Amino acid sequence: MNIIGRLTRDAEVRTLSNEKQVVNFSVAVGDSYRNGQGERVEQTTFFDCAYWLSANVAKLLTKGTLVELTGRVSTRAWIGKDGEAHAGLNFNTSQIKLHGGSKKAETAQATTGTKKNKSEDDLPF
């Protein structure tokens, strides 16, 4: 399955007890449609994502970055500390394609006067 959306926060790297690392981040996917009354309805779906192949990618995954992800979706449900039922969508990512930088990255490039001249073959994923 493929999804395209923007990161809602900077990616974080976690190291598990077996020394394996995982990159966690969240993506918002927007959609719109017309309902039966002809009104446009905007809908946003949030995915909690995990990427296991390389922790180096976390440096590129900053809030606001537009990404295309390939992977599989799973659901989870839990009871919160408040006793309320919650549900969420997980996306286990096997491939990440960047479609432009975040505003944070663009600001950093403008400040330092640097430009990224990497081809897709140079990327670590």
pLDDT at residue 103 in the model: 54
Write down the domain spans for the chain: 2-114
- CATH fold, domain 2-114, is OB fold (Dihydrolipoamide Acetyltransferase, E2P) (2.40.50)
What is the percentage of the chain residues whose pLDDT exceeds 90?
74
Query: What is the average pLDDT value for the chain, to the nearest integer?
Result: 84
What average pLDDT does range 46-52 have in this prediction?
95
Where b means 16+ CB within 10 Å and e means fewer, 70-101 reads ebeeeeeeeeeeeeeeeeebebebeebebeeb
Phi, psi for 43 (deg, rounded to 5): -135, 135
pLDDT at residue 117 in the model: 47
pLDDT at residue 111 in the model: 34
Residue 21 reports pLDDT greater than 60: yes
pTM of the model: 0.73
pLDDT at residue 102 in the model: 56
Beta strands in 8-55 (DSSP E): 12-15, 21-34, 40-51
Per residue in 22-47, pLDDT tens?
999 999 999 999 999 999 999 999 99
